[in-house]
Chain A
Amino acid sequence: MRLRGLLVAIFVLFIGGITLAAAPVRLVFMGRDGPYEAAMKLAISLYKMVRPHVTIEYLGLPWAGLREKITIELVEGRGTFDLVILDDPWTPEFLPAGLLEPLEPWFARIGQALSPDFIAPALALGRWPYPDGTLYALPIVGNVQLFAYRKDLFEKHGLSHPPKTWTEVVAAARLIQEKEPGVFGNVFRGAKGHDIVVSFLPILWAHGGNIIVDGKSGVDSPEFLAALKVYLELARYAPGDVGVYRAAKLREVLLAGKAAMALEVWPAWIPELDDPKKSMVVHKVELTTHPGQVVTTAPMLGIWLLGIPATSRHKAEAFDFLLFVTSPEIQKVMALHVGNPPTLTSLYKDPELIARYRWYPAQLEALLAGVPRPRIAVWSRVEDILGGFLHEALLGIRTPEDAMKAAHAAITAALAE
Chain B
Amino acid sequence: MPKRRIAVSRIVLYLSALGTVLVALFPIWWLVNTSLKTPLEFLSGRTTLFPHEPTLAHYHEVLVDRGFLRFFGNSALIAIAATALSVLVGSLAAYSLTRFRFPWQLDKVFLLWAIAIRTIPPIVLVVPLFIMFRELRITNVRAILILAYQVYTLPLAVWMLLGFFREIPRELEEAALTDGASRVQALVRIVYPLVTPGLAAAAIFCIITVWNEFTYALIFARVPSDFTVPIAIATFITEYRTLWGPLAAGGLISSLPLLVFTVFVQRYLLRGFALRGVF
Contacts and interface: CB of A to CB of B under 8 A. Distances in A.
Given A256-B45, A277-B38, A57 B240 contact: no
B140 interface: no
B126 interface: yes
Contacts of A251: 240-241
A269 B240 CA distance: 8
Interface string B218-229: 110111100000
Contacts of B224: 58-60
Interface SS, B side: helix
B239 interface: yes
Contacts of A280: 40, 43-44
Contact of B214 (A58, A61, A64, A279): A64
A248 B244 CA distance: 11
Contact of A62 (B219, B235, B241): B235
A313 to B, nearest CB: 15
B235 A266 contact: no
Interface string A62-77: 1111001100100011
Nearest to A80: B222
Interface string B66-90: 0000000000000000000000000
A198 to B, nearest CB: 11
Contacts of B238: 33-34, 62-63, 248
B237 A64 contact: yes
A247 interface: yes
Interface string A261-284: 000001011000000111110000
Given A252-B43, A269-B240, A280-B44, 11 more contacts: A59-B221, A59-B223, A62-B218, A64-B218, A65-B218, A76-B130, A252-B241, A256-B44, A268-B240, A278-B40, A279-B40
Interface residues of A, number: 33
A72 B218 contact: no
Contacts of A247: 239-241
Interface of B: 38-40, 43-45, 123, 126-127, 130-131, 134, 214-215, 218-219, 221-224, 231, 234-235, 237-242
A255 interface: yes
A404 to B, nearest CB: 28
Interface string A26-59: 0010000110000000000000000000000111
19 contacts: A28-B223, A33-B238, A58-B224, A59-B224, A62-B231, A64-B218, A65-B214, A65-B215, A68-B123, A69-B218, A77-B134, A247-B241, A251-B241, A256-B44, A266-B240, A269-B241, A276-B40, A277-B39, A280-B43
Nearest to B38: A277
Given A69-B219, A76-B134, A256-B45, A248 B241 contact: yes
Contact of A57 (B215, B218, B223, B242): B223
B70 to A, nearest CB: 14
A156 interface: no
Contact of A76 (B131, B215, B221, B231): B131
Contacts of B45: 256
A233 B124 CA distance: 41
A64 B38 contact: no
A16 B101 CA distance: 78
A247 B40 CA distance: 18
A60 B219 contact: no
Contacts of A62: 218, 231, 234-235, 237-238
A61 B127 contact: no
B44 to A, nearest CB: 7
B219 A63 contact: no
Nearest to A77: B134
B222 A59 contact: yes
B223 A248 contact: no
Given A60-B235, A248-B240, A76 B40 contact: no
B146 to A, nearest CB: 20
A341 B45 CA distance: 31
Contacts of B241: 247-248, 251-252, 269
B122 to A, nearest CB: 12
Of A57, A62, A65, A68, chain B has the most CB atoms within 10 Å of the CB of A62
A301 to B, nearest CB: 15
Nearest to B45: A256
A61 B43 CA distance: 27
A169 to B, nearest CB: 22
Contacts of A216: none
A78 interface: yes
A63 B239 contact: yes
Most chain B Cβ neighbours within 10 Å, of A63, A64, A248, A276? A64
Interface in A212-257: 247-248, 251-252, 255-256
A269 B239 CA distance: 11
A64 B236 CA distance: 10
Given A57-B223, A65-B219, A280-B43, A34 B126 contact: no
Contacts of B131: 76
Contacts of B240: 247-248, 251, 266, 268-269
B234 A72 contact: no
Nearest to B232: A62
A6 B184 CA distance: 73
Nearest to B221: A59
A35 to B, nearest CB: 9
A232 to B, nearest CB: 25
A186 B126 CA distance: 42
A268 B40 CA distance: 18
A402 to B, nearest CB: 32
B134 A78 contact: yes
B51 to A, nearest CB: 14
